[in-house]
Structure 1
Amino acid sequence: MTDTPNITIVFLLFPGITQLDFTAPAQALSRLPGARLAGAAASLEPIATDSGFAIVPTHDFATCPRADILCIPGGHGVTDALGDAATIDFIARQAAHAQWVTSVCTGAFLLGRAGLLAGKRATTHWGYTHLLPIVGAEHQSARVVEDGHIVTSGGVTSGLDFALTLIARLRGDAVAQAIQLAIEYDPAPPFVGGHPDCAPEAVTAGLKARVYDAAAARMEAALKA
């Protein structure tokens, strides 16, 4: 019987990360047979998330192992990370040898800044999809978009869908289904409305006005800087 090969899964960590962009796919991927997870940041200091608690990296950029799967989460901290040369260089170096290069939410723009989305179909959080052409990507409306070895996913909770999709590619549908069952991922939200396509128009307009119009403008400025 052949041993299951190890697979190294590297997550980029940065201040202002949306913790579920990281922790949701990490929870599923950690159950992948042979998985070894690493959380890499510029230093080993705790990383402040958007949820009021911190995450401690396992590696800094210099000591991080080579990724078989590279995952770039999103968050409002992406706008600052776009201007950090060490972060972008780390993404580019890891992506050069990775079997799969992935993102959750606005992490797509960090892939784009590293030159990895040019000519690719991609997705991101619905509040920012109109900015994908700035990094050379074509928006495809889906929770998970695969274009070659590049896999992007929509906002926040889409990271779990991406992780299960990738597990199925790597180890087969049965393994992915078993992991989905183990974590009891059986969504039955109390409201229909997790995307503008189905949310009440007033709810979408209010959220855009309170959060995403300004956030997208900051993202656009950072991308064009």
Structure 2
Amino acid sequence: MQVQIVLFDGFDPLDVIAPYEVLEAGRMVTGGALEIELVSAEGAREVPSGLGALSLRATSALDPSRTDLVVVPGALGRMPDENEPTEDSIPVLLGRTLDTTLPALLKECLDRPGVTVATVCGGSMVLAMAGLIEGRPATTHRMGLDLLEATGTIAIDARVVDDGDLVTGATVTSGLDLGLYLLERELGPRVALAVEKLIAHERRGTVWRNTGPKPIEAA
């Protein structure tokens, strides 16, 4: 299974490293069932994160034709200020991805049968701002749920939301839970449990899916 984790200028390092380590552990405990690489829309390059001088190296370009799972992180920067928007605010950093080829590549991924696109935190906003998930359920950081809904996405207040070929995680630490859930979904619960024990982390919350009876709203 080929996994590509996307880097873009200003990405949140933990959004990348948390699922990367979980999925890499999945590769270890299965003897190589996964191959994980860091990619960017532009190809191999050093990609600056939103955390000071920390950068990570993308080893190749995001390639929808040879991937099975794509993970899109959010950005790390200042919280948005409507009165004084800054160049290093999270919405601005996420919005800059729209000026790259990343949205077109992600659309190709979503259009290809058998490819799953997963996001951590503000990664779902990259898809939403590009108009790629209108009308679909997704989650993001709780402070961005209203903005997510404003794009026409169905905002779900859950830690992980599974909508088939789109799986989204809420906050920055949900990258661990997202990774474990993806291992369970794609490779089975025994693999996920082995990794859970290896990293000493138990998944939190119930994964939201659009199944089952709708609960009665409290008055």
Q: Compute the TM-score of the two structures, normalised by the length of structure 2.
A: 0.75
RMSD: 2.0
Counterpart residue number, 2:67: 67
1:57 corresponds to 2:58: yes
1:91-170 matches, cutoff 5 A: 91-97=106-112, 98-170=114-186
Q: Which amino acid aligns with 1:89?
A: A
- The alpha carbon displacement at 1:156 in A equals 0.6
Match of 2:25, SS state, is coil
5+ unaligned residues in a row in structure 1: which ranges?
Answer: 1-6, 188-225
Asked if the contact 2:64–2:108 (Cα under 8 Å) also holds between the matched residues in 1, the reply is: no
Asked if the contact 2:95–2:129 (Cα under 8 Å) also holds between the matched residues in 1, the reply is: no
Rounded Cα–Cα distance in structure 2 between residues aligned with 1:137 and 1:56: 31
The C-alpha deviation readout for 1:109-141, integer Å capped at 9, x for no partner, is 112234432211111011111011233211111
Asked if the contact 2:110–2:165 (Cα under 8 Å) also holds between the matched residues in 1, the reply is: no
The C-alpha deviation readout for 1:71-96, integer Å capped at 9, x for no partner, is 11101331211x32411112112232
Rounded Cα–Cα distance in structure 2 between residues aligned with 1:156 and 1:14: 16
Asked if the contact 1:123–1:140 (Cα under 8 Å) also holds between the matched residues in 2, the reply is: yes
Match of 1:117, SS state, is coil
Asked if the contact 1:95–1:101 (Cα under 8 Å) also holds between the matched residues in 2, the reply is: yes
Counterpart residue number, 1:35: 34
Q: Which amino acid aligns with 2:104?
A: D
Counterpart residue number, 1:21: 15
Asked if the contact 1:15–1:49 (Cα under 8 Å) also holds between the matched residues in 2, the reply is: yes
Rounded Cα–Cα distance in structure 1 between residues aligned with 2:163 and 2:13: 25
- The alpha carbon displacement at 1:175 in A equals 1.1
Counterpart residue number, 2:3: 9
CA 1:79–1:113: 2 relative to 1, 3 Å: closer
Rounded Cα–Cα distance in structure 2 between residues aligned with 1:54 and 1:64: 24
- The alpha carbon displacement at 1:64 in A equals 7.3
Q: Which amino acid aligns with 1:49?
A: S
- The alpha carbon displacement at 1:152 in A equals 0.6
Q: Which amino acid aligns with 1:178?
A: A
The C-alpha deviation readout for 1:166-214, integer Å capped at 9, x for no partner, is 1111121121011011112259xxxxxxxxxxxxxxxxxxxxxxxxxxx
Match of 1:170, SS state, is helix
Counterpart residue number, 1:45: 45
- The alpha carbon displacement at 1:27 in A equals 0.6
Asked if the contact 1:16–1:50 (Cα under 8 Å) also holds between the matched residues in 2, the reply is: yes
Rounded Cα–Cα distance in structure 2 between residues aligned with 1:67 and 1:115: 22
Identity fraction in percent: 30
Tell me the number of residue pairs that the alignment of Structure 1 and Structure 2 aligns: 180
CA 1:24–1:80: 2 relative to 1, 3 Å: same
Counterpart residue number, 1:177: 193
5+ unaligned residues in a row in structure 2: which ranges?
Answer: 76-89, 204-219
Q: Compute the TM-score of the two structures, normalised by the length of structure 1.
A: 0.74
Give runs of ≥4 in structure 1 deviating > 4 Å.
Answer: none
Asked if the contact 1:40–1:64 (Cα under 8 Å) also holds between the matched residues in 2, the reply is: no
